[in-house]
Amino acid sequence: MVRGNSVGGDEQLGLILDFAGVLTANPIEVHRTWCVSERLEPGAWRATLNDHPEGRRLYAALEIGEIGQAEWNEGTAALLGEHVDPVNLMGRAWADVPPARRMIALARAARAAGHRLALLSNSFGLDPFNPYEHVGVWDLFDAHVVSELEGLAKPDPAIYRLALERIGLPAERCVFVDDHEVNLPPAAELGITAVHAIDEDRAVAELEALLGVTAVLTV
């Protein structure tokens, strides 16, 4: 689903991509499987991060760099259960989430066509587990805006303005992709074309039309 202005023509465009759920597959089922492997209820990961007051506080602090991933691992492991090992907790939960291969191919095609790329990600920590390096997408981008490093997170409008500044293009020539609908309106209000990535194939098709490129998967 596309919101905002149309982009196109022969001019250089900007593609601004979220990370989790856009450049990776939806992690929900992987996290449920991981929970079972850790002798937890299948929904324990999401319940702890989203519904538990202390879990929400810890995750929000991690996103904007108030705490590091190692401290988050310790605090969240204790909430999950006393038997849960805190060592590299985030890395263990995320290790098996696969990359979104078609979306990554689309990003490569956009860059090959001369468009500029920016990563705009609400971080879930960089050390000891770096999710961007794990998926191998960091070097795809001309600019990086990661909430932990900036001290602010989506949907704060300031982080979208920072992404535009880093990518060096006006909002009307940029497309932003995110899997969380709440993160789209601030981009659209700035004049950025916003794409809601509910389904990878549909989102890639929308971006191919907007950017005038074709995603080609390699073996």
C-alpha closest to that of 25 among 118, 131, 168, 130: 131
Give the pLDDT score at 11.
87
Q: pTM of the full predicted structure?
A: 0.93
Q: What is the mean pLDDT of residues 50-65?
A: 97
- E strands along the chain, which residues? 2-3, 14-17, 116-121, 143-146, 174-178, 193-196
pLDDT band at 218 (very low <50, low <70, confident <90, very high): confident
Contacts of 207 (CB under 8 A, 6+ apart): 15, 106, 110, 175, 177, 195, 213
Q: Note the pLDDT of residue 6.
A: 54
Q: How big is the CA angle at 69 (ends 64 and 73), to the nearest 5 degrees?
A: 125
Of the pLDDT bands very low, low, confident and very high (cuts 50, 70, 90), residue 96 is: very high
Q: Tokens representing 87?
A: 């060592």
**What is the per-residue pLDDT across 160-190, written as a single tens digit (0 to 9) for each?**
999 999 999 999 999 999 999 999 999 999 9
pLDDT of residue 84: 97
What integer is the mean pLDDT of 211-219?
Answer: 88
Q: Is the pLDDT of residue 2 over 60?
A: no
Each residue's pLDDT tens digit, 123-150: 999 999 999 999 999 999 999 999 999 9
* pLDDT over 70 at 7, yes or no: no
Residue 102 has a pLDDT of 97
What pLDDT is recorded for position 3? Answer: 54
Residue 49 pLDDT class (50, 70, 90 cuts): very high
- How much helix, strand and coil, in percent to the nearest 5, is found in the chain? 45, 10, 40
Q: Is residue 159 helix, strand or coil?
A: helix
**Is residue 4 over pLDDT 80?**
no
The answer, yes or no, to whether residue 10 has pLDDT greater than 80, is no
pLDDT over 90 (residue 51): yes
pLDDT-derived band at 55, boundaries 50, 70, 90: very high
